[in-house]
Structure 1
Amino acid sequence: MSFRRVVALAGLLAAFSVHAETAGHALVGDAKAGETKAAACGACHGPDGNSSDKQYPKIAGQQADYIARQLALFKSNKRVNPVMAGFAAPLSEQDMADLGAYFASKRAVPGNGDQALKARGEQLWRTGDTALGVPACMACHGPAGRGNSGAGYAQLSGQWTDYVVAKLKEWKSGTTWGTDDRALIMPDIAKRLSEQDINAVASYAEGLHTVEHADAAPAGHADAKH
């Protein structure tokens, strides 16, 4: 996939986000119902979605539909994870929507980026690297890392560096989660990144706590300062 195609595809998916959100096909999750279903999730992700073990992602404040989609991928084994497949297997679509709504209502605990990696990480996040064919991360995930719900791009602000590094390395090796164009974007981008670049951009994402740009924090979410 060429650099221009990656950028164009990301733009198209983002442009159609409003349509996706208003099409009426997705189930509406109930956060209160999700709270009663989330007990099993707490062992790895924390009761409020803030994991203490860096191998497990923080899912507090994550896009509700992104969580539901990942659970569906785990259930169908399109995203391979034996542990998550077991948890997802008995879930209905409504269960997934409810869990997504519950964790989306929580506030992610801020992380800490490595200042030594900030300059390169910020470059990749804000402007990308045309020489490598890497588009700006914020084009899909937002300037402050809040993601894009309608287009299916995850929130990454505050996410553990270790977890993001692990996922980028999986994508670099060719791992995909599904077969649509959206699923192919990250593997194509990751293979263009060096290990140093992977560490830098992952660290920068963890350090994105402040809202300095147009995409405001979710309602009720206060952001810690650097």
Structure 2
Amino acid sequence: MKKNLLALSLALAFTSIPSILHAEADIGAGKEKAAQCASCHGETGNSLVSSFPKLAEQHPNYLVKQLLAFKSGARKDPLMSPIAEHLSKDDIADIAAYYGSEKIAANDVPVVDEDEDDATNKAKNAAAVQTLIAQGGGLYRNGDLSREVSACIACHGPLGEGNKPAGYPLLKSQHAEYLIKTLTDFKTDVRSNNPENMMHMIARKMTDEEIKAVSYRISMMK
């Protein structure tokens, strides 16, 4: 019974996405409403804390889908769920439109050990990061067909721009830490609001090192 109710609530939530998207979203109103989000996601959607995702430039239809998922309970988060629960359809449309109108900020190259003082070790760490980024680039472009790991480029584009009509999110310049957590959540089934379990199937076949590598590469895309 509970499963049936959950399925019904998800169906109702996601069927309402087109109606929300076709509503006249107000970017100005969205900026005002997004003020409550600024402490975590930044005033323009460029969060300063790498555990919180950047929302700037994200496709509004993707943001609407995620906010509806938080609102319905299909996606759970101790911070986001109670906030989304009190958002109206107009609020969701306006906030998504506002963040979609902003530009995402580029990242600095990830640092393995910020407390390292030895110049030689710093150089080794920097070289290790570049190796990871290169490895991640290969996986992003080509995947690994021998293990049925699809190439990220197929859905998220050559520059991480995503595919708005298909609902695939923009990934470029996202925080590496957040990307690592997201892929790990897909891998371990912590996150479950994914069409046809596509990301689960891919992430489960990736090693932790590959998840880190591809996350580093995506974080460098502009």
The 3-state SS of whatever aligns with 2:79 is helix
Distance 1:141 1:161 in 2: 16
Deviation readout 1:27-86 (Å, 9 max, x if unpaired) = 342211101101110000001000011110011111111111111000111101021011
Mind listing any 5+ residue stretches in structure 1 that lack a counterpart? 1-20, 210-226
Q: Percent identity?
A: 36
Match of 2:147 among 104, 117, 132: 132
Distance 2:163 2:194 in 1: 20
Deviation readout 1:109-162 (Å, 9 max, x if unpaired) = 101454221221111111111112111101111111011112111111000000
**Structure with higher RCO (Cα < 8 A, 6+ apart):** 1
CA deviation after TM superposition for structure 1 residue 186, in Å: 0.6
Residue of structure 1 equivalent to 2:185: 170
* Aligned positions, number: 187
Query: TM-score, normalized by length of structure 1?
Result: 0.78
Q: Does 1:204 align with 2:200?
A: no
Distance 2:25 2:136 in 1: 35
Distance 1:81 1:133, change over 3 A: same
Residue of structure 2 equivalent to 1:10: none
Please provide the CA RMSD for this pair. 1.9
Q: Which has the higher helix share?
A: 2
Distance 1:100 1:179 in 2: 19
CA deviation after TM superposition for structure 1 residue 176, in Å: 3.5
Distance 1:175 1:152 in 2: 21
Q: Does 1:44 align with 2:40?
A: yes
| Equivalent position amino acid for 1:173 in 2 | T
Distance 1:90 1:171, change over 3 A: same
The 3-state SS of whatever aligns with 2:137 is helix
Distance 2:44 2:20 in 1: 28
Kept in 2: contact 1:145–1:208 (CA 8 A): yes
Taking the TM superposition and a 5 Å limit, the aligned residue runs for 1:73-222 are 73-113=69-109, 114-178=129-193, 180-181=195-196, 184-209=197-222
Kept in 1: contact 2:20–2:89 (CA 8 A): no
Distance 2:19 2:55 in 1: 25
Distance 2:130 2:65 in 1: 33
CA deviation after TM superposition for structure 1 residue 24, in Å: 9.4
